[in-house]
Amino acid sequence: MPSLTKILKDKAFRELVDQCFHFSGRGTLPILRTTRTLDAGIDFGAVGTAYDYCLRLALIRTHDLAMEEVPLFSGITHYLESYRADRNVRGLMEKQQEAILDYLDFNLSDASKLLEACLFLSKFDAEYRSGQLIFDFTVKSQDVAELAQIVDGSRLDWAMGRNVSLGPDFSISGSVEQICADGDLVVDDMLVDIKTSARLDLKASIRQLISYRALNLLARNPQPIESVGVYYPRFDFFLCIPINDLQNPSQQKALVSHFQGVLDGSLELPSLKNSHSLMTPAGAVDDSETDTLTVNAIGQ
């Protein structure tokens, strides 16, 4: 079962997607406010996933969302499926869950405990998505410090006073192939992606977002998505673009058709043959083969 991330790594398919939207990206480059710490020991993928968890927990608290959202985090669901019977791991998880519950109850005095908990959960998320087993359950202090920098420099005003839905699932099955795709969040009718990268790559972000929307349109009961947004917390930069400003009706239809071709086998992608599913953790970024663009700080 290939992931959307895996499909978009196929150069030929990526070129097809790029023909289905227009985005110039010309303008002024937003300022990088939170640089990457020069420390080879930092796991930036884990930090990105942990930031996504921090953001989701903050939204659960500020928007009074159901506590049932927390067990749906992929890191927790994978722990429950694969590690709950391990007494040692269970003890570590209970400690981290206590910090999360204290945070949601406005009863956490040490903010670093929440960051540690989110980094701990990111380990299970990474194993679930990559298949690589966890060999070290400790949370590194340098990862906590890096995550703290990003959290301290980011904001959530773009989601305040609006309806928020966490972790939308756009996975879909066809007669030949099944595509696995899970987004970050939906704010009203805007699909939002979170990127903790220190590189601003808006074209790749928009490519991913309109692909999620195309899969959504293939569902039996598609969600209403009329715009896409991306937030780069290291830049404290938020961009929202209406779908109609990115795609005309024929481009929207063509993109849906391309994904339908993958699902029914009429559009064959050589890169998917004899490959296993590789899902990118939320918040992580693939820096290979990207198109870095400068843009106006719209909505900043």
Find the domain containing 134 and state its range: 44-152
Per-residue pLDDT in tens (0 to 9) along the chain, 300 residues: 788 988 999 999 999 999 999 997 766 578 888 888 888 799 999 999 999 999 999 999 999 888 778 877 888 999 999 998 999 999 999 999 999 999 999 999 999 999 999 999 999 999 988 889 999 999 999 999 999 999 999 999 999 999 999 999 999 999 999 999 999 999 999 999 999 999 889 999 999 999 999 999 999 999 999 999 999 999 999 999 999 999 999 999 999 999 999 999 998 876 666 544 333 333 333 333 333 333 333 333
Residue with tokens 């380990």: 123
Same domain as 141, residue 163: no
Domain boundary among 126, 152, 178: 152
- My answer on whether 118 and 210 are in the same domain is no
pLDDT attached to residue 71: 79
- The last residue of a domain, from among 152, 177, 196: 152
pLDDT at 212: 97
* 194, 124: one domain: no
Answer yes or no: do 188 and 239 share one domain.
yes
Res 273: pLDDT:
61
Domain shared by 146 and 166, yes or no: no
CA dist 283 and 47 (Å) reads 8
Q: Which two tokens stand for residue 128?
A: 């679930």
Q: Is residue 204 part of a domain?
A: yes
Strand 227-232: give its sheet, edge to edge: 164-166, 185-187, 190-194, 227-232, 237-242
Of residues 164, 131, 146, 135, the one with CA closest to residue 278: 131
Is there a single domain that holds both residue 132 and residue 210?
no
Classify residue 228: in a domain, yes or no.
yes
Answer yes or no: are the C-beta atoms of 236 and 31 closer than 8 Å: no
Residues 139 and 163 in one domain: no
Residue ending a domain, among 152, 181, 212, is: 152
Instruction: Give the model's pLDDT for residue 69.
Output: 83
Residue 298 lies inside a defined structural domain of this protein: no
With respect to residue 299, please indicate whether it lies within any of the assigned structural domains: no
Number of domains within the chain? 2
Indicate the pTM of the whole model.
0.85
